[in-house]
């Protein structure tokens, strides 16, 4: 399909803008950015969209001095701009906010904000000044928080807010947000979008990257779309019909709608009775039938991940029991769960999921090495065969033979799924299965989940995207503050009902 020529995005090198012209970047002979030119003006939000692997993070990393382009040029408020390190970029006023939040839990909010550059006077840390300046940065963003308290225990959204405060405490003129909302709920995302609006109104130029197109439409004054490393379309407004954005991303017409899963059978596969762990969750009891998809909804911090980690043998629990096919499973470690047929795809693809230094093919085969190989040895050709199959099935873009760190975020997510689905489990637990995944890949993942369920697998899906939980599940379990509030049938489970149950109850 022919794509309209991109509307020229002027390189306003003479006005207040961060601009790049003809940026090119290749990795090992593969060109991932192909002559990209764009600019974001001061006091404007530029939405940057594109499929997984389109080049969004690479472009942001270049703007923020983390990656050096092969060719092309950049200007910052009309002057030549060639950052050679993130520090250099920050000094010039360009900050990048990553998707992954990296705070030190034991340190205070203010210490985290000033990490690596604590203000000193007379050779000592000037704590009073640090706290004062941290408080000021938080106030600008409307975050009501004591800068002296430790970061430990704060919600993801609040930590994201501190991350933003950290960036703005350096008074940047341009801030790039690379999928800041991937791990946030809708309510929390609204807060982040509000904070971006504050920055914009103060004259900061913002680049906003997200796979959630509604957010981009809401926050951006201009939108550009990358496809396969090329800038394929630009819009001079944020109010672009969603279908147009999707078409530009995937290069064809695309409809995205949920359809009801096939009916589940009556036979119970997974049963959880009275599961509890002190200070984490309690009273969790539910069952999942053969072919059934049970969604678990709730706000960040409601205890959803804790519960499924316990069921998967990753964390312990104090009370209750877990049964598979009517038999109580002793769950001391993850291998116990796997032996009982329970497999969990964790939410954190970096920490618990993938060995980023190893190839994706190896990652996919690691858990199965013992069972796949003759006398415990998996041959290279077998690894290659399994990997090739996963690649087609999960539509993984990028080489599976290079270390996984070289894949885009969304494609890493697909590798993670592929890894746990080499063998069909009895019970499949998915924690945030589509985090950071583009629309096309999302559809593919939903299809896979429905297909697995239809083949008899009992599926549990934890997701912060309400639409995802409601669209996929036969029934929805809602948690709030570590407690199970209710289990709703698909017909009852609309977003309003779920949200009402999910918001924490005033403790009586």
Ligand X SMILES: Nc1ncnc2c1ncn2[C@@H]1O[C@H](COP(=O)(O)OP(=O)(O)OP(=O)(O)O)[C@@H](O)[C@H]1O
Nearer to ligand X, 52 or 463 (CB): 52
334 binds Mg ion per the rule CB under 5 A: no
Q: Which does 158 bind (CB under 5 to 8 A by kind): Mg ion, ligand X, none?
A: none
Residue 180: CB minimum distance to Mg ion, A: 12
Closest by CA position to 368, among listed 389, 397, 394: 389
180 binds Mg ion per the rule CB under 5 A: no
Residue 403: CB minimum distance to ligand X, A: 8
Residue 409: CB minimum distance to ligand X, A: 3
Q: Which does 407 bind (CB under 5 to 8 A by kind): Mg ion, ligand X, none?
A: ligand X
Nearer to ligand X, 54 or 461 (CB): 54
205 by DSSP, 3-state: which?
strand
Q: Which of residues 347-406 bind ligand X (CB under 6 A)?
A: 398, 406
Largest CA distance in the chain: 73
Residue 57: CB minimum distance to Mg ion, A: 3
* Helix (H), strand (E) at residue 283: strand 281-289
Cα–Cα distance for residue pair 140/308, rounded to 1 Å? 38
Nearer to Mg ion, 180 or 298 (CB): 180
57 binds Mg ion per the rule CB under 5 A: yes
Residue 436: CB minimum distance to ligand X, A: 6
Under 8 Å between Cβ of 437 and 211: yes
Q: Which does 54 bind (CB under 5 to 8 A by kind): Mg ion, ligand X, none?
A: ligand X
53 binds ligand X per the rule CB under 6 A: yes
Query: What mask, x for binding ligand X by CB under 6 A, covers residues 58 to 97?
Result: x---------------------------------------
Q: Nearest to Mg ion by Cβ — which residue?
A: 57
Nearer to ligand X, 50 or 482 (CB): 50
Query: What mask, x for binding ligand X by CB under 6 A, covers residues 409 to 448?
Result: xxx------------------------x-x----------
Under 8 Å between Cβ of 247 and 231: no
Cα–Cα distance for residue pair 87/117, rounded to 1 Å? 11
Nearer to ligand X, 149 or 254 (CB): 254
Rg (CA), the chain: 24
Under 8 Å between Cβ of 388 and 396: no
Cα–Cα distance for residue pair 296/90, rounded to 1 Å? 40
Q: Which does 55 bind (CB under 5 to 8 A by kind): Mg ion, ligand X, none?
A: ligand X
53 binds Mg ion per the rule CB under 5 A: no
How would you classify the pairing of strands 268-277 and 79-80?
A: unpaired
214 by DSSP, 3-state: which?
helix
Cα–Cα distance for residue pair 258/256, rounded to 1 Å? 7
**Which residue bears the tokens 């002979």?**
29
Interface residue with ligand X among 50, 65, 147, 301 (CB under 6 A) is 50
Query: What mask, x for binding ligand X by CB under 6 A, covers residues 236 to 265?
Result: ------------------------------
Cα–Cα distance for residue pair 429/296, rounded to 1 Å? 10
Cα–Cα distance for residue pair 277/309, rounded to 1 Å? 12
Count of positions (residues) in the chain: 508
Cα–Cα distance for residue pair 154/353, rounded to 1 Å? 24
Residue 364: CB minimum distance to ligand X, A: 16
Nearer to ligand X, 63 or 192 (CB): 63
Contacts of 69 (CB under 8 A, 6+ apart): 23, 24, 25, 33, 62
How would you classify the pairing of strands 458-462 and 293-297?
A: parallel
Cα–Cα distance for residue pair 424/400, rounded to 1 Å? 21
56 binds ligand X per the rule CB under 6 A: yes
DSSP conformational letter for 5:
P
Nearer to ligand X, 34 or 382 (CB): 34
Site size toward Mg ion (CB under 5 A) is 2
| Cα 85 to Cα 81, 94, 96, 101, 169, distances in angstroms | 12, 11, 12, 20, 19
Cα–Cα distance for residue pair 89/356, rounded to 1 Å? 26
182 binds ligand X per the rule CB under 6 A: no
Nearer to ligand X, 238 or 403 (CB): 403
Interface residue with ligand X among 17, 32, 340, 477 (CB under 6 A) is 32
Interface residue with Mg ion among 161, 172, 409, 440 (CB under 5 A) is 409
Closest by CA position to 485, among listed 316, 299, 305: 299
- Part of the chain binding ligand X (CB under 6 A), chosen from 51-59, 191-199, 237-245, 469-477: 51-59
471 binds Mg ion per the rule CB under 5 A: no
Cα–Cα distance for residue pair 418/506, rounded to 1 Å? 42
List the structure tokens of 468.
């995802």
27 binds ligand X per the rule CB under 6 A: yes
55 binds ligand X per the rule CB under 6 A: yes
Residues in contact with Mg ion by CB under 5 A are: 57, 409
Please give the residue ranges that form the binding site for ligand X (CB under 6 A): 27, 32, 50, 52-58, 398, 406-411, 436, 438
């Amino acid at each position: 399909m022919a794509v309209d020529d991109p509307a020229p995005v002027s390189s306003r090198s003479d006005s207040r803008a961060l601009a790049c012209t003809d940026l090119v970047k290749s990795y090992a002979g593969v060109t991932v950015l192909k002559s990209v030119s764009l600019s974001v003006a001061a006091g404007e939000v530029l939405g940057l969209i594109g499929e997984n692997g389109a080049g969004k993070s690479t472009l942001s990393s270049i703007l923020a001095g983390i990656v050096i382009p092969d060719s092309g040029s950049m200007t910052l408020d009309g002057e030549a701009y060639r950052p050679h390190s993130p520090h250099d970029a920050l000094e010039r006023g360009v900050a990048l906010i990553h998707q992954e939040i990296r705070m030190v839990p034991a340190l205070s909010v203010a210490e985290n904000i000033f990490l690596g550059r604590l203000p000193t006077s007379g050779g000592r840390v000037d704590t009073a000044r640090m706290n004062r300046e941290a408080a000021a940065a938080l106030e600008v963003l409307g975050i009501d928080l004591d800068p002296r308290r430790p970061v430990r225990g704060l919600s993801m959204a609040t930590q994201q807010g501190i991350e933003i405060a950290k960036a703005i405490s350096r008074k940047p003129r341009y801030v790039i947000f690379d999928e800041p909302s991937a791990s946030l709920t809708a309510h929390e995302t609204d807060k982040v979008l509000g904070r971006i609006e504050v920055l914009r109104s103060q004259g900061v130029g913002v680049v906003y990257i997200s796979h959630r197109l509604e957010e981009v439409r809401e926050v951006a004054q201009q939108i550009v779309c990358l496809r396969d490393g090329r800038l394929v379309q630009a819009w001079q407004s944020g109010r672009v019909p969603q279908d147009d954005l999707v078409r530009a991303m995937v290069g064809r017409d695309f409809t995205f709608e949920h359809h009801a899963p096939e009916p589940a059978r009556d036979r119970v596969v997974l049963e959880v009775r009275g599961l509890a762990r002190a200070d984490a969750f309690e009273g969790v009891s539910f069952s999942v039938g053969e072919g059934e998809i049970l969604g678990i909804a709730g706000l960040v911090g409601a205890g959803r991940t804790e519960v499924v980690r316990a069921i998967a043998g990753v964390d312990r629990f104090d009370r209750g029991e877990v049964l598979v096919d009517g038999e109580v499973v002793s769950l001391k470690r993850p291998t116990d769960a796997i032996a009982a047929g329970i497999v969990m795809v964790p939410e954190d693809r970096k920490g618990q999921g993938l060995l980023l230094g190893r190839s994706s093919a190896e990652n996919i085969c690691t858990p199965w090495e013992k069972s796949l190989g003759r006398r415990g040895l998996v041959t290279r050709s077998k690894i290659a065969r399994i990997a090739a199959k996963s690649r087609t099935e999960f539509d993984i873009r990028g080489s599976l033979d290079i270390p996984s760190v070289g894949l885009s975020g969304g494609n890493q997510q697909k590798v993670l799924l592929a890894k746990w689905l080499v063998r069909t489990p009895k019970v499949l637990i998915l924690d945030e299965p589509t985090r950071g995944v583009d629309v096309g890949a999302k559809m593919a993942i939903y299809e896979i989940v429905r297909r697995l369920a239809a083949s008899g697998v009992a599926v549990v899906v934890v997701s912060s995207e309400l639409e995802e939980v409601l669209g996929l599940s036969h029934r929805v379990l809602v948690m709030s503050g570590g407690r199970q509030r209710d289990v709703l049938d698909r017909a009852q489970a609309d977003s309003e009902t779920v949200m009402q149950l999910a918001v924490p109850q005033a403790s009586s």
